[in-house]
Amino acid sequence: MAESYLEWMLKVLKEAVELGGFPEEVYKYLSKPDRILIVKIPVRMDDGRLEIFEGYRVQHNNALGPYKGGIRFHPEVTLETDMALALGMTLKNSLAGIPYGGGKGAVRVDPKKLSKRELEQLSRGYARAIAPLIGDQIDIPAPDVNTNPQIMAWMVDEYSKLKGYNVPGVFTAKPPELWGNPVRIYSTGFGAVVAAKEAAERWLGGFEGKTIAIHGFGNAGQYAALWATKWGAKVVAISDTSGSVYDPEGIDVELAMKVKNETRKVINYPKGQKFPGDSDVPLYVDADILIPAAIENVITAENVDKVKAKLIVEAANGPTTPDAEKKLYERKDFVAVVPDILANAGGVIMSYLEWVENLQWYFWDEEETRNKLAAIMKRNFHRTADRWEKLKSEKDFIVTMRDAAFVLAVERVYTAMKLRGWL
């Protein structure tokens, strides 16, 4: 039977505790969440039926600050997956150096089957259901899979109605017109390219002129492609569920984004080589840097030998399986997997900046916000790279950059818990 995401996360956590030399009680404390809320959300459907949806909010750890993590709407979500994601948010927020703990929320639903009115009712119902346990100083949700700024706008409005006054900081990634920040729209892809650029300058002799393949062309993939080209790299492959496009001369990213947003299919891009129905081409093309930006478990022990990139930067959550990662590091020409909890933290770091703005009722302009985000990403990348290189020099076995990231993340949470007298 395949290892579940929660089992994998707990295994990596345990290894990080051992590698960092932390007491075993740190693993015991972090292996379970502080609180789990299971809610029912009744929605009157357009045809008159009453549908009952199940939702969750997992609050994992708040040693460093309020719980923080997204809300996903998906037909296959489970409480166990939500627990794993909440643990991941504790570690991601710790590694990012921001004053947040970790949390995660979900509703088991296929939002594509709902009308706009039904989706609004579900969003408001979920906000009402979790309202007793959230707040701008307690737990601050944000979007995740199949949720967006409009859904956050409905939720912040519903919560504010319950409170009787506006509470902008209780949800982040809101529309810019409603207390949000325009950088949040592209922050995940932007942050991943900041990490890629720093890694390329540190280990590949520079970023400009490097070739990049991007697997997945949703929000993160599109903006990763856009910022990569703005900074002088060449995007040679992109893909979505419709198929892949490969052009060794370079893809016109702005045109590809226009085609994707107008037709919803990358395969309609008018140039380059087309691979209809095959979304995995970017994983295997000859490129310096691979940015997986779609879903988990796309680089596995079965296909990893076909991966040619020297550097992988994880804009998606969990795209590289542990077995595949081990094989990559055994390759002599391979540099590193910049792990998801570091590479795709641009979204939550931007959420933190938006939250700071909301608490003060004061807003920075777009360029200033983007510079703040880039500075945090750069600092965290080099801190992690430094620790990784130190650990590699001390150990006689393969130590991955993910190992170093987890050690740093656990270290900060452990220190906070110890100072607070929890351990």
Q: Given this model, what pLDDT does residue 166 score?
A: 98
For the domain covering 187-343, report its CATH number.
Answer: 3.40.50.720
pLDDT tens, N- to C-terminus, the chain (423 residues): 667 889 988 998 999 999 999 999 999 999 999 999 999 999 999 999 999 999 999 999 999 999 999 999 999 999 999 999 999 999 999 999 999 999 999 999 999 999 999 999 999 999 999 999 999 999 999 998 889 999 999 999 999 999 999 999 999 999 999 999 999 999 999 999 999 999 999 999 999 999 999 999 989 999 999 999 999 999 999 999 899 999 999 999 999 999 999 999 999 999 999 999 989 999 999 999 999 998 778 899 999 999 999 999 999 988 998 889 999 999 899 999 999 999 999 999 999 999 999 999 999 999 999 999 999 999 999 999 999 999 999 988 889 999 999 999 999 999 999 999 998
C-alpha 152/C-alpha 244 separation (Å) is 32
pLDDT of residue 157: 98
Task: State pTM to two decimals.
Answer: 0.92
- Asked if the domains at 35-167 and 187-343 fall in one CATH topology, the answer is yes
Domain ranges of the chain: 35-167, 187-343
For the annotated catalytic residues, the residue numbers are 104
* The predicted structure's pLDDT at residue 322: 85
Name the class of domain 35-167.
alpha beta
For position 4, what pLDDT does the model report? 83
Distance CA 216, CA 256 (A): 12
Rounded-to-integer distance, Cα 399 and Cα 313, Å: 17
Angle (deg, nearest 10), helices 187-203 and 366-394? 40
